[in-house]
Amino acid sequence: MSYRSVATFPAFERTPRRFVEVKNVEIAKSIRMKSSTHNVSITVWCSRLPLIKRWLGVFIGVSLQALLAQRVRGENHADYKYEDYREESGRIHVRTHGVLAEFEVSPAVSVHGELVFDAISGATPTGGPAPTGSKRVPVATMDDERTAGNLQVPVKWGGRHTTTPQLAYSLEGDYESVGFSLNHTIDFNDKNTTLALGFAYTYDTIMPDFWFGDKEYKNSGDVLIGVTQLLGPKTILTANLTLGAANGYMNDPYKGVRFDDYPDPNTLFREKRPGYRDKQIGYLALTHFVTPLKGSAELVYRFYHDSYNVASHTMALTWYQKLGKHIVVAPTFRFVDQTAASFYGVRFAGDASLPSDDPFYVPIPKHYSADYRLSAMQTFTYGLSATWKIKDRVSLDFAYKRYDMVGKDNATAKDAYPNANVFSGGVRVWF
pLDDT at 212: 57
How sure is the predictor about 1, in pLDDT bands with cuts at 50, 70 and 90? very low
Residue 229 predicted with pLDDT over 70 = yes
Contacts of residue 114, defined as CB under 8 A and 6 or more positions apart, other chains included, come to 39, 42, 43, 44, 98, 99, 100, 101, 149, 150
8 Å CB contact between 26 and 93: no
Phi/psi region, residue 203 (left: phi>0; alpha: psi -120 to 50; beta: rest), is beta
Residue 45 predicted with pLDDT over 50 = no
Look up residue 306 and give its DSSP letter. E
As beta bridge partners, residue 281 has 242, 304
Q: Determine the length of the chain.
A: 431
Residue 255 predicted with pLDDT over 70 = yes
Pick the more confident residue, 144 or 21: 144
Residue type, 282: G
What are the angstrom distances between the C-alpha of 429 and each of 78, 102, 154, 266, 426? 5, 11, 21, 54, 10
pLDDT tens digits, one per residue of 157-185: 999 999 999 999 999 989 999 999 999 99
pLDDT at 133: 85
Average per-residue pLDDT in the chain?
85
Residue (of 307, 218, 274) closest to 4 by Cα position: 218
CATH number of 25-430: 2.40.160.40
Give the separation between CA 205 and CA 141, rounded to whole angstroms: 22
Residue 58 predicted with pLDDT over 60 = no
Residue (of 298, 221, 210) closest to 254 by Cα position: 210
**pTM for this entry:** 0.84
8 Å CB contact between 357 and 260: no
Task: Tell me whether residue 171 is exposed, middle or buried, using C-beta atoms within 10 angstroms of its C-beta: 0 to 12, 13 to 18, 19 or more.
Answer: middle
Give the separation between CA 334 and CA 323, rounded to whole angstroms: 23
8 Å CB contact between 72 and 19: no
pLDDT tens digits, one per residue of 262-286: 999 889 999 999 999 999 999 999 9
For the segment 404-431, the average pLDDT, to the nearest whole number, is: 96
pLDDT at 49: 33
pLDDT at 379: 98
Q: How many CB atoms are located within 10 Å of the residue 320 CB? A: 25
pLDDT at 211: 59
Residue (of 200, 191, 185) closest to 60 by Cα position: 200
pLDDT tens digits, one per residue of 324-362: 999 999 999 999 999 999 999 999 999 999 998 998 889
